[in-house]
Amino acid sequence: MSNVVVVYHSGYGHTRVMAEAVAQGVERHVGSTCLLVPVDEVDQHWDRLHSADAIIFGAPTYMGSASAQFKGFMESTAAFYLAQPWRDKLAAGFTNSGCLCGDKLNTLLQMAVFAAQHSMIWVGLDLLPARSSTGAFEGQMNRLGSSLGAMAQSNVEQTPDLAPPPEDRCTAAHLGERVARLAERMNPSPL
C-alpha cells in the first residue's frame, strides 16, 4: 500500500485532467490511495501532505515556467522547510502547455529542484520516448519524449474533455502507478 497526494494547479482544466489521470494510475496499484489537492485548497491538507508516502506535483507551463499559483504553493512551504517533514518522501511531477515544447522541461526542473530542497527523492518517467517514422504518435505513451516527468500538450482551442490527448493521459497514469509501486517498495507493510 502507498499513500500518495497530488498537488496541482490548473488554469483551464487541462492540467486537472492530467492530475486525475495520475490519481487513476496511483489507484491502479493495489491498495494505494490518492488524494487530489488543488493548490487553492492546500491549507486544508497540510497534515495529509506531511503523512503521505509520496507527493506528485502538477502545474501548467505558462511563459516557460510553472504557473504563479503553483509557485505560490511552493513558497508557502517555507513555513515548515526547516522541520523537513517531506524528507525522504518520493516526489514526481507533470506539466501541460499549449505548445509541443512550450519549455515544459523548465517547469519539471523547477519541481525537481523544489523537491530536492525539501530532501525528497525524485522519481522520473521510466518510458522510452515514442518513436515514429511518419510523424504520428497515436497510441504511444511518452509521445513528447520526457524523462524527468510526464508532459502533455493541449490544443488551446480544445476543452479538457478533448485535450490533452489519450497518449498524454496514459503517460500521466503510468507515472502515478510507478510512484505508488515505488512508494510501497520503500515503505513495506509490516508482517
pLDDT score of 191 more than 60:
no
Query: Which grid cell is 144?
Result: 513528447
Region 96-109: mean pLDDT is 93
Region 92-116: mean pLDDT is 95
Q: Is residue 97 part of a domain?
A: yes
Q: How many structural domains is the chain composed of?
A: 1
The three-class DSSP label of residue 152 is strand
Q: Is residue 131 part of a domain?
A: yes
Q: Is residue 59 part of a domain?
A: yes
Q: What pLDDT score does 183 carry?
A: 97
pLDDT score of 132 more than 80:
no
Q: What pLDDT score does 188 carry?
A: 73
pLDDT digits (tens, 9 = 90+) for 52-68: 999 999 999 999 999 99
Q: What pLDDT score does 100 carry?
A: 84
Indicate the pLDDT class of residue 38, thresholds 50, 70 and 90.
Answer: very high
pLDDT score of 49 more than 60:
yes
CATH number at residue 91: 3.40.50.360
Q: Is residue 8 part of a domain?
A: yes
Q: What pLDDT score does 190 carry?
A: 62
Q: What pLDDT score does 138 carry?
A: 77
Q: What pLDDT score does 137 carry?
A: 72
Q: What pLDDT score does 140 carry?
A: 87
pLDDT score of 170 more than 90:
yes
Q: What pLDDT score does 3 carry?
A: 97
Q: Is residue 191 part of a domain?
A: no
Concatenate the DSSP letters of all residues of 32-91 into one string.
-EEEEEEGGGGGG-HHHHHH-SEEEEEEEEETTEE-HHHHHHHHHGGGGGGG-TTTT-EE
pLDDT score of 126 more than 70:
yes
Q: What pLDDT score does 27 carry?
A: 98
Q: How far apart are CA 108 and CA 97, in angstroms?
A: 12
Q: Is residue 157 part of a domain?
A: yes
Q: Is residue 32 part of a domain?
A: yes
Q: Is residue 92 part of a domain?
A: yes
Q: What pLDDT score does 189 carry?
A: 64
Region 164-190: mean pLDDT is 93
Q: What pLDDT score does 127 carry?
A: 94
Indicate the pLDDT class of residue 143, thresholds 50, 70 and 90.
Answer: very high
What domain range is 84 assigned to? 2-186
Burial 45-67 (b: 16+ CB within 10 A, else e): beeebeebbbbbbbbbbbeebbb
